[in-house]
Amino acid sequence: MDTKTQSAYQEELQRLEQTNKEIDKQLERLRATPVYYGPDLTEQALEVLRENGRHNLTKAIDEPYFGRLDFEETGTGSPSPLYIGKAGVEDERTGRLLVIDWRAPVASLFYSFTGGLDAASYDSPDGIIDGLVYLKRNLVVRKQILQRVVDTYDRNEDSLSVGDEFLLYRLGENKDNKLRDIVSTIQAEQDRIIRAAKNTALIIQGVAGSGKTTVALHRLAFLLYQYREQVRAERMIIFAPNSMFLDYISGVLPELGVGNIQQSTFTDWALDVLDHEVQIADQEITLQRWFALGSKRPPVDDQAPGRFKGAIAFKSFLDDCLNRLETTYVPTADFSPWDGVKLPIATIREWFFVENKHYPMIKRRERVVARIKRWMEIQLEKVWEQSLKKELKKKSAQKLRTYLTGWPEYTAFTFYKMLFTDKGRPDSLPVELLQNIPESIVAASAKLFKKKEVGLEDLAPLLYIHTRLHGISSDRLFDHVVIDEAQDFSPFQVAVLDAYTRNSSFTILGDLSQGIHAYQGIQNWKEFSSFFQEEETGYFELERSYRSTMEIIQFANSVLQRGVSNPLLAVPVFRSGNKVRVLQTSLKERLTLVQKAITSLLAGTSSTVAVVARTEKQAQELHDALTLIGIETNLITSKQRVYRGGISVLPVYLTKGLEFDAVILMDVTAEHYEATLMDAKLLYVGCTRALHELWLLVTGDISPLVTVDQSEITTTEFPK
């Protein structure tokens, strides 16, 4: 350690000791104070403050901060050190902030400052504050012990740009089975997204590994801090592609001290709103179909069920159907509960179309039926003879039941199903309407609906019908919605979610280059942005990739370039590693080579390894074969709910969103990965899952998507 580093280390040791003492003291006192459960409102408010204090201090006690910024606000005359941590800590006597919460306005300087001698500024509630930055320092504290001090900027040094050394140290670490927070190394372009204003629909196109998922989770924590008066955690939700992915990301929010944010798949949420009226047809079959090898795959066009039913045009079609129903959605005849008494249909129409016009259709029906019942009671009151009254009461109830059979109480599913069959349709919905839908879709839907099953692409239409029929109860509204892997969402899904989201407050993240579910997703972000007012929409691009080494990113980019015109290429951070290995093997030697590869990777620095097959069936076979030769692996299928880490075997399309220290891509042959857009995206997704090591195994002709002669980034040799 040179003298400068040594003195910085000593200075930080002292400071840490003081901070630790203060935190210990405060926590001890708070823990000793009995919790107040009584009725006094002031005491209750104080108890909330104490509880917050306990919570923050418990969080801060092991690692009080991770960064320091020396900032001289213009006009103050001298710089003061700001220590930045996951939770703010105040000196009880002086009220001075010992640690600043990373989400506080001033902390944004720590992330946005990129070096140089010029003044820096941040946005505070009192306006723009500017001044000079003297020092940016990263600190690693674990269990109250100072482990590392790295200066990434020093105004008195020659090099005046903020260095990447600490970021590279962080990126070089191995991964276990959970995504982690990045508060200590958030980059300026990520920070802009995290701190963007709440009432905007943010759309973020980010290359693989650019931190989209991580940024979205940090943004939720930021919004909860910055808008604490306006948003509640339980009213925020993050939609992720599957339950295993949710498990994988489940650690980040608690690490950031944020609880209770809903985390769900669109499917689970939709089924809940629909009160589980339908079941989802087996997804394995759908996936097998869309991820079959080359020629066995159906064409992906606008007639594919997901694209067709996910389009806004389909929403307009449903609107048309619902509007038609609405205009005729009342009985046609007067209602007569008994001879001589009549409620004219004109009155019923008036109640339905005029008096209750602001209610959704089914609610209106309910209100009108209640009104008819009240009217009947009034008529009955006019009958004096008790036995007759009793008889009329019974008779009229029966009459009403019969009358209402001509006024069915649709649910989302009964209405939707009716559209695809020729039975039970009201006159307002002639069967000719079906001409708007491709025959194959009508036939497949009708078959499925008979079993009360639906496809994933039916959920947005069902939810939409549900909201038109029943409305949205206020406890279902979200304060903010995050959609991860949004390129796989349909415009219709986003339109439905918009109805459930106050002020269109969205963070929508994805990567068009990873759009492997093209049969249901979008091809262009404009398909979403067109819903939102231009002034309330934000669009960001993230180009830097933090996950993988330079060699892996360059290789993955070359795959994309061979299959996609105008690809969005990732820019790697300068983290060099081993070359990508492309290993040829015979069918006979294939398994032995996989075994050797796994052993070699685990003996090196990798602790999570993925063996990636092209299809689910091949993954199953590989898993079985590896088990037989004594290698324990976790088989990941589309039904998986938990990500365990270790050695995983999975089909390439299920790797999306995950990451592993090392990836072994199996069968990268011409047969398995053709020179098509879809296969290029699939292989790109597979390659970009690797942090440190990427190995490709080839038995037969190599895929035309792969260039082996890039000797600076690939090798064909097995490591010694």
Ligand X SMILES: Nc1ncnc2c1ncn2[C@@H]1O[C@H](COP(=O)(O)OP(=O)(O)OP(=O)(O)O)[C@@H](O)[C@H]1O
Nearer to ligand X by C-beta: 212 or 692?
A: 212
Residue 206 counted as an annotated binding residue:
yes
Task: Judge whether 213 is annotated as a binding position.
Answer: yes
**Alpha helices, DSSP H only, in 33-180?**
41-60, 108-112, 165-171
- Interior CA angle at 231 toward 225 and 234, to 5°? 100
- Hey, what amino acid is at 391? E
Amino acid at 524: N
Measured from the CB atom, the residue of 211 and 521 that comes closer to ligand X is: 211
According to the annotation, is 208 in a ligand binding site? Answer: yes
Q: What is the CA radius of gyration of the chain?
A: 31
Q: How far is the CB of 482 from ligand X (least distance, A)?
A: 12
Both tokens assigned to 474: 């206020």
3-state helix, strand, coil in the chain (%, to 5): 45, 20, 35
Nearer to ligand X, 556 or 583 (CB): 556
Tell me the window of 17-25, 165-173, 575-583, 697-705 that interacts with ligand X (CB under 6 A): 165-173
Which ranges of 382-483 does DSSP label H, i.e. alpha helix?
A: 386-405, 412-419, 439-450, 459-470
Closest CB to ligand X among 514 and 558? 514
Q: Does 657 bind ligand X (CB under 6 A)?
A: yes
Candidates 699, 466, 719, 427; CA nearest to 580 is 719
User: Which DSSP letter does residue 88 get?
Assistant: -
- Based on the shown chain and the rule CB under 6 A, indicate whether residue 186 belongs to the binding site for ligand X: yes
Interface segment toward ligand X; rule CB under 6 A; list 135-143, 206-214, 227-235, 673-681: 206-214
**H or E element in which residue 538 lies:** strand 537-542
Q: Among residues 179 and 583, whose Cβ is nearest to ligand X?
A: 179
Looking only at the bridges linking them, the beta strands covering 120-124 and 127-142 are antiparallel
Based on the shown chain and the rule CB under 6 A, indicate whether residue 511 belongs to the binding site for ligand X. yes
240 near ligand X (CB under 6 A):
no
Scan residues 517-556 and list those touching ligand X (CB under 6 A). 546-547
Full 3-state SS string of 228-249: CCCCCHHHEEEECCCHHHHHHH
What mask of x and - would describe binding to ligand X in positions 411 to 430, judged by CB under 6 A?
A: --------------------
Our finding on whether 205 is near ligand X (CB under 6 A) is: no
> Which residue from 210, 144, 256, 285 is spatially nearest to 545, judged by alpha carbons?
210
CA-CA distance, 88 to 381, in Å (whole number)? 69
What's the rounded Cα separation, in Å, for the pair 52 and 674? 56
Query: What are the counts of helices (DSSP H) followed by strands (DSSP E) for the chain?
Result: 24, 26
Q: How far is the C-alpha of 39 from the C-alpha of 483, rounded, in Å?
A: 42
The region of 182-190, 267-275, 285-293, 529-537 touching ligand X under the rule CB under 6 A is 182-190
Smallest gap from Cβ 258 to ligand X, in A, equals 16
The residue from 64, 88, 209, 257 that contacts ligand X (CB under 6 A) is: 209
First-to-final CA distance of the chain:
34
195 lies in the site for ligand X, by CB under 6 A: no
Q: How far is CA 666 from CA 259, 466, 543, in A?
A: 39, 45, 28
Q: How far is the CB of 602 from ligand X (least distance, A)?
A: 20
Answer for the pair 302, 405: CB distance below 8 angstroms, yes or no: no
Nearer to ligand X, 208 or 559 (CB): 208
Q: Which residue is nearest to ligand X (CB)?
A: 211
Quick one: 514 or 520, whose CB is closer to ligand X? Answer: 514
Distances (CA, A) of 466 to 23, 459, 686: 52, 10, 38
- Of residues 465, 565, 456, the one with CA closest to residue 520: 456
User: Which residue, chain included where needed, has tokens 């790109």?
Assistant: 684
Is 206 a binder of ligand X (CB under 6 A)?
Answer: yes
Q: Is 209 annotated as a binding residue?
A: yes
Closest approach of Cβ 207 to ligand X, in Å?
A: 7
User: Among the candidate windows 205-213, 221-229, 440-448, 609-617, which touches ligand X by CB under 6 A?
Assistant: 205-213
334 bridge partner residues: none
Among 195, 212, 235, 466, binds ligand X (CB under 6 A): 212
Of these, 107, 162, 171, 610, which contacts ligand X (CB under 6 A)? Answer: 171
Cβ distance to ligand X smaller for residue 194 or 201:
194
At 290, list the tokens: 């869309």
Per CB under 6 A, 148 contacts ligand X: no
Residue from 211, 241, 310, 337 that binds ligand X (CB under 6 A)?
211
Smaller CB distance to ligand X: residue 167 or 376?
167
Contact of 692 with 549, CB cutoff 8 Å? yes
CB atoms within 10 A of CB 455: 19
Closer to ligand X by CB, 185 or 242: give it.
185
Rounding to the nearest 10 degrees, give the CA dihedral for residues 615, 616, 618, 619: 120
Q: Is 433 helix (H, G, I), strand (E, B) or coil?
A: helix
Work out how close the CB of 544 gets to ligand X at its nearest, in angstroms, rounded to a whole number: 8
**Of the ranges 42-50, 202-210, 273-281, 585-593, which one interacts with ligand X (CB under 6 A)?**
202-210
Stretch that binds ligand X, among 138-146, 209-217, 313-321, 705-713 (CB under 6 A): 209-217
Question: Contact between 107 and ligand X (CB under 6 A)?
Answer: no
Q: How many residues bind ligand X (CB under 6 A)?
A: 24
**Residue with smaller CB distance to ligand X, 141 or 271:** 141
User: Is there binding between residue 190 and ligand X (CB under 6 A)?
Assistant: yes
Compute the residue count for the chain. Answer: 720
Q: Which of 472, 532, 458, 459 is nearest to 500 (CA)?
A: 472
Task: Please pick, from the candidates 26, 187, 501, 633, the single residue that binds ligand X as defined by CB under 6 A.
Answer: 187
State the minimum distance, in angstroms, from the CB of residue 206 to ligand X.
5
Q: Is 210 among the annotated ligand-binding positions?
A: yes
Q: Does 214 bind ligand X (CB under 6 A)?
A: yes
Cβ–Cβ under 8 Å, residues 716 and 602:
no
Residue 205 vs 411, nearer CB to ligand X: 205
Q: Which of 57, 182, 223, 233 binds ligand X (CB under 6 A)?
A: 182
Quick one: 269 or 546, whose CB is closer to ligand X?
546
Residues forming beta bridges with residue 510, ordered by sequence position: 205
Site for ligand X contains 567 (CB under 6 A): no
For helices 459-470 and 266-273, the axis angle rounded to 10 degrees is: 30
DSSP designation for 355: I
Residues 680-699 that bind ligand X (CB under 6 A): 688
CB of residue 686 vs ligand X: minimum separation in angstroms? 11
What residue numbers does the annotated binding site cover? 206-213
Known binding-site residue numbers for ATP: 206-213
Q: For binding to ligand X (CB under 6 A), which residues are involved?
A: 167, 170-171, 180, 182, 185-187, 190, 206, 208-214, 511, 514, 546-547, 657, 659, 688
